[in-house]
Amino acid sequence: MMKRPDALRAIANLAPDEIVVATYSSAFDWMVIRPHPLNYVHVGAMGLASSHGLGLALGRPDRKVIVLDGDGSLLMNLSTLVTISNVAPENLAYFVCENGTYEANGSHPIPGQGTTDFCTMARGAGWPVVAQYDELTGFTGALPSILATRGPVFTSIKVEPGATVGPANYEHIHGAAARAAFRECLTPNRRRAE
């Protein structure tokens, strides 16, 4: 298994300006690892990162959209696997950080901890590209290809619980400033209402 911050740093090295949708524990780490106004961290509820990522990928087909989700979050919206596969946005790369826990809510074990196979679910839902990595060297080596492959791409990364690098900054992820910065960066030529 790898540490989530190490996996996220590897992604950040290859994704300096992409739209990144991250939820809770991944979001808290991501904000420290790659501070950027295109960090869409204000998802609002577990389970919605994949849906928000899909909407952004469809709305901005000219931009790469990366989703950083958790296994507990994915369990709360499994139907999104079918929806994303059906719509098939070519610019979407989805990463699920599997640590077997609802980490943001007290690290309680997820249902099916240790037996649930998210890659099998993604394949069964029709995702054309599915991969799983449980060690950093293999993941880092495959990452350029993962990010360059026409999507949607589903990647499971097996990570250790805990080991966060950032504080749980709920005020930022639920605050208006993060939303405004994202909106402004995503549409720089947008006319402001007077």
Whether the pLDDT of residue 190 is over 60: the answer is no
Whether residue 46 contacts residue 17, with contact meaning beta carbons closer than 8 Å, is answered with no
Nearest partner of 98 among 122, 82, 79, judged by Cα = 122
Whether residue 71 contacts residue 98, with contact meaning beta carbons closer than 8 Å, is answered with yes
pTM of the model: 0.86
Higher pLDDT pick, 106 / 154 = 154
- What end-to-end distance do the CA atoms of the chain give, in Å? 52
Q: Note the pLDDT of residue 173.
A: 72
Please enumerate in sequence order all residues whose Cβ is within 8 A of that of 170, keeping only pairs 6 or more positions apart, or say none.
none
**Which DSSP category does 106 fall into?**
T
CATH class of the domain whose range is 4-186: alpha beta
- 3-state DSSP assignment of residue 174: coil
Nearest partner of 98 among 171, 25, 151, judged by Cα = 25
Alpha-carbon distances of 113 from 22, 33, 71, 72, 104, rounded to whole Å: 22, 28, 10, 10, 16
Whether the pLDDT of residue 49 is over 80: the answer is yes
Per-residue pLDDT band for 112 (boundaries 50, 70, 90) equals: low
Lowest mean pLDDT, pick from 16-30, 39-53, 103-117, 128-142: 103-117
Per-residue pLDDT band for 146 (boundaries 50, 70, 90) equals: very high
Higher pLDDT pick, 85 / 176 = 85
- H or E element that contains 176: helix 176-186
In this predicted model, what pLDDT tens digit does every residue of 116-133 receive, in sequence order? 899 999 999 999 999 999
Q: Note the pLDDT of residue 191.
A: 47
Q: Note the pLDDT of residue 104.
A: 61
Whether the pLDDT of residue 107 is over 70: the answer is no
Lowest mean pLDDT, pick from 8-17, 85-94, 97-106, 169-178: 97-106
